[in-house]
């Protein structure tokens, strides 16, 4: 029986303990500040990057691994496994799928042992897919079966999050200056979601941010009959313990999930969404 490894990008935002238990190797994204280049999650956290930017840090550019780094990563993973399913962040928001595929070409025949999946999602939206892939692997599915399931599953995952304003989206070139100014002036809070792999505006919440967050949770979970109740991820960027606890209570009120997992967003995701961004990520039936 072939040994199948599940690997992913560090922006999957799954808890370190989970990754360790299921032996999921991750490849690091990088954040370049004015002082150095740091591995996301290992050398720099979401708190670090947000504090750096709030302090007036000159720049914070996020970057996916290069094809060379992917190659090295895959080669190391192949020492442990016969075949690998690598789940990447959506190709519409990052160049990781492109680089990972370029690495496969560099690897020649060994590259054929690796399935690179464009998840169409980010953060724990990818996390849902990884958990499913692990479950299938443990149940004895083949790499092809897992890859096929991933392709079908990515249409069912819902990844959305609310941000305090469009300020960080503007800083990273994902929104215009006027959009940023209007959201700040009128106290508007964009809700973004991943639609067919692209990050799009789903809705706008207004008023006090704490209340807007609760409104967002309500609109996502209440009256939503399609949700698979197995698992919900609440992923946040530097939210207070109280906000997270309020969101969790509200989610528990609206839906009876088997488990609700709270995770912190990676520095890459946080640096793009800004402090206070929070999302509920689930799978539809």
Partner 1 sequence: MKYTDIVTNKKTAAKAAWLIYVLCTAIMLIMAHFSGWETWVSAMLYINASVLTLMTFCPKISVKLQSVFLMLLSFLNIFVCSLMEENIYPSISVFIGASILIAVYKNERLLFWYNLLIAGGILFHIFILNSIPFDTSIQVTEFIVRVSVMFTAQFFLMAFIKAMDKNEEEMLKSVEDAKQAERYKSDFLANMSHEIRTPMNAIVGMCELILRESGLSESARENCFNIQTSGRSLLAIINDILDFSKIESGKMELINDEFNIASTINDVINMSEARKGNKKIDILVNADPDIPRGIIGDEVRIRQIIINLMTNAVKFTEKGSVTLTVSRSKQEYGINLFVSVADTGIGITEENIEKLFTSFRQVDTKKNRSVEGTGLGLAILKSLITQMGGFISVKSEYGVGTEFRFVIPLKVSDERPFITVKEPMNIHAVGCFGKTDAAAEYRQLFLDMGSRLNVDFKCADSITGLKKMAESEKITHIFVSREEYLGGEEFFRGISDSSHIFVIQDRVDSVNLPDKIRCIYKPFYAIPMVSALNNENMVLNLNERRGADIRFTAPKARILIVDDNVINLKVAAGLMRPYNMQIMTAESGPAAIRMLRSKDIDLVFMDHMMPEMDGVEATEIIRGMEGDYYKKLPVIALTANAVNGAREMFINSGFNDFIAKPIELSALDRVLRNYLPKEYMQAPAGGDYGKSDRRKAVKQNYESSPMFDPDKGLSYTGGDDSAYREILALYIKKGEEKRKYIDELFEKKDWKNYIIEVHALKSTSLSIGAIKLSELAKELEAAGKSERYDAVEKKNGELSRLYSEVIDIASEYLGGFDDEEEVTEQVENTELTEISCEALDEYISKAKEACGGFDGDTMAAIAEEAAAYSYRGKPLKDYFGKAAELAEDFEYDAAAAEIARLEAAREVE
The phi and psi torsions of 183 (rounded to 5 degrees) equal: -65, -35
Strand partners, 259: 231
Residues 186-215 vs partner 1: string with x where CB under 8 A? xx-------------------xx-------
Determine the longest span between alpha carbons in the chain, in angstroms: 60
Residue 76 touches partner 1, criterion: CB under 8 A? no
Strand partners, 204: 190
Residue 33 touches partner 1, criterion: CB under 8 A? yes
Residue 58 touches partner 1, criterion: CB under 8 A? no
Contact region with partner 1 (CB under 8 A), list: 33-41, 128-136, 212-220, 225-233: 33-41
Residue 42 touches partner 1, criterion: CB under 8 A? yes
Contacts of 130 (CB under 8 A, 6+ apart): 6, 8, 12, 14, 24, 87
Residue number, 73 or 120, with CB nearest to partner 1: 73
Q: Is 13 exposed, middle or buried (0-12, 13-18, 19+ CB in 10 A)?
A: buried
Residue number, 28 or 233, with CB nearest to partner 1: 28
Count the neighbouring beta carbons within 10 Å of the beta carbon of residue 167. 19
Contact region with partner 1 (CB under 8 A), list: 64-72, 87-95, 159-167, 185-193: 185-193
Nearest to 165 by CA among 143, 181, 178: 181
Residue whose token pair is 């990515």: 154
Residue 68 touches partner 1, criterion: CB under 8 A? no
Residue number, 160 or 270, with CB nearest to partner 1: 270
Contacting residues toward partner 1, per CB under 8 A: 33-39, 42-45, 47-48, 52, 185-187, 207-208, 240-241
């Amino acid at each position: 029986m072939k040994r199948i490894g599940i690997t992913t990008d560090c922006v999957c935002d799954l808890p370190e303990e989970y990754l360790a238990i299921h032996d999921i190797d991750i490849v690091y994204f990088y954040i370049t500040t004015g002082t150095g280049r740091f591995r996301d999650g290992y050398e720099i956290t979401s708190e670090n990057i947000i504090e750096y930017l709030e302090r007036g840090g000159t720049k914070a550019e996020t970057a996916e691994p290069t094809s060379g780094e992917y190659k090295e990563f895959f080669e190391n993973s192949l020492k442990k496994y016969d075949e690998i399913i690598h789940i990447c962040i959506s190709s519409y928001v990052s160049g990781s799928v492109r680089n990972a595929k370029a690495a496969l070409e560099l690897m020649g025949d060994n590259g054929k042992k690796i399935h690179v999946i464009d998840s169409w999602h980010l953060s724990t939206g990818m996390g849902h897919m990884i958990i499913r892939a692990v479950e299938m692997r443990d149940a004895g599915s083949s790499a092809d079966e897992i890859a096929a399931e991933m392709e079908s599953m990515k249409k069912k995952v819902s990844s959305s999050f609310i941000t305090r304003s469009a300020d960080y989206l503007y800083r990273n070139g994902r929104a215009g200056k006027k959009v940023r100014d209007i959201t700040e002036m009128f106290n508007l809070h964009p809700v973004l979601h991943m639609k067919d792999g692209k990050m799009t505006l789903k809705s706008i919440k207004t008023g006090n941010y704490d209340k807007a967050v609760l409104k967002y949770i309500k609109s996502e979970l209440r009256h939503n009959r399609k949700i698979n109740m197995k698992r919900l991820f609440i992923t946040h960027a530097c939210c207070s313990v109280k906000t997270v606890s309020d969101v969790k209570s509200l989610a528990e009120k609206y839906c009876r999930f088997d488990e609700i997992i709270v995770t912190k967003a990676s520095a890459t995701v946080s640096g793009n969404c800004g402090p206070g961004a929070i999302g509920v990520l689930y799978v539809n039936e």
